[in-house]
Amino acid sequence: MDKVVLILGIFTLAIILRRAGVLREKHIGWLVRYVVTLSLPCLTLNVIGALDLRHAHFDVVVIAWVVMLAGAALSWGVGRWAGFEGKRLRVFTLVTAFPNTGFLGYPLAYALFGGAGLSYAVLYDQMGMFPIFLSLGFFIAGGKESLLESLKFPPLIALAIALVLNVAGLRPSEAFASVLGGIGWTTLPLTIFLIGAKLRFTALRDTRPLVLCLLLRMLVIPAILVAVLYLMGKSGLPYRVAVMETAMPPALTTSILAIKYRLDEDLAVACISAGTLICLVVFSAAMMLGWGS
């Protein structure tokens, strides 16, 4: 219950500060840059660098790859069936295919499953969702010209460095690892704060794509995954985390791509805002019922 109060408190504080005018767009921009360029890379270096790759659940990574690729194909098909075209179809595909496995998935995985759950969440996000998002996601948003920009993304660079150091058997000193951990852990409260700060309801003008997106993103796709895992006889913490990550609302970064490539920003923000609220309500209920670690 304490975790529920803490997360909802941070989320609500961000909304209040934004509406009061204390928190402005430039402040949000500073926080986003801090998370993307410093705290998230530090978290990646700390977790992936210390991961025992020989015994890691790489099936969690494979699950993420399949979920993202299948989700993109399904959302594109449903979008075409619904009559969406051009920029609207591209945004619909982005917000439906790519879940918020980092900004929202990390703190919720930690709250529900503890440190072990966070490790699987980072694995799912950094090695599973991330490569697909930075390739297919950028391609959907901006075409092949955008792919080179994705290679400059700091968390991707941190992931590559962490994997190289891990494979080489190089470990940071205890003092340096402590610094990385301290900075990295600030990612969890800040991501919840940023989602609250970015929440918008003015874009909820068109309910059809919104409802279709959230049904696919948070219900249909995770339900298919649950059915497949059941038929394969897969169970345990790694798969519970994978299902949780798959059921996350649309990724916050999809709105950044929508703005950058001049797509339907209002639709992206509406899907992210509504999906995040639904997710937090379900999460709070799950925690109060004792679901998790």
144 touches 262 (CB < 8 A): no
Q: Is the dihedral of CA 215, 221, 226, 228 positive or negative?
A: positive
CA–CA distance, 6 with 25 (Å, rounded to integer) = 24
Q: Is the dihedral of CA 225, 132, 38, 56 positive or negative?
A: positive
For residue 150 the two structure tokens come to 């994705």
Q: What is the pLDDT of residue 232?
A: 94
Domains of the chain as residue ranges with CATH: 2-285 (1.20.1530.20)
For residue 148 the two structure tokens come to 């080179």
Q: What is the pLDDT of residue 266?
A: 81
CA–CA distance, 30 with 185 (Å, rounded to integer) = 18
Q: What is the pLDDT of residue 61?
A: 92
Q: What is the pLDDT of residue 223?
A: 97
Q: pLDDT tens, position by position, for the chain (293 residues)?
A: 566 677 778 888 988 998 898 888 888 888 888 888 898 889 888 877 777 777 677 899 999 999 999 999 999 999 999 999 999 999 999 999 999 998 788 888 988 888 889 889 988 988 899 889 888 998 998 887 777 777 787 888 888 898 898 888 888 788 888 898 899 888 878 877 887 887 766 655 678 899 999 999 999 999 999 999 999 999 899 999 999 999 999 988 787 788 778 888 788 888 888 898 898 888 878 777 766 55
3-state SS, one letter per residue, for the chain: CHHHHHHHHHHHHHHHHHHCCCCCHHHHHHHHHHHHHHHHHHHHHHHHHHCCCCCCCHHHHHHHHHHHHHHHHHHHHHHHHCCCCHHHHHHHHHHHHCECCCCCHHHHHHHHHHHHHHHHHHHHHHHHHHHHHHHHHHHHHHCHHHHHHHCCCHHHHHHHHHHHHHHHCCCCCHHHHHHHHHHHHCHHHHHHHHHHHHCCCCCCCCHHHHHHHHHHHHHHHHHHHHHHHHHHCCCCHHHHHHHHHHCCCECCHHHHHHHHCCCCHHHHHHHHHHHHHHHHHHHHHHHHCCCCC
pTM of the model: 0.81
Q: What is the pLDDT of residue 204?
A: 59
Q: What is the pLDDT of residue 205?
A: 65
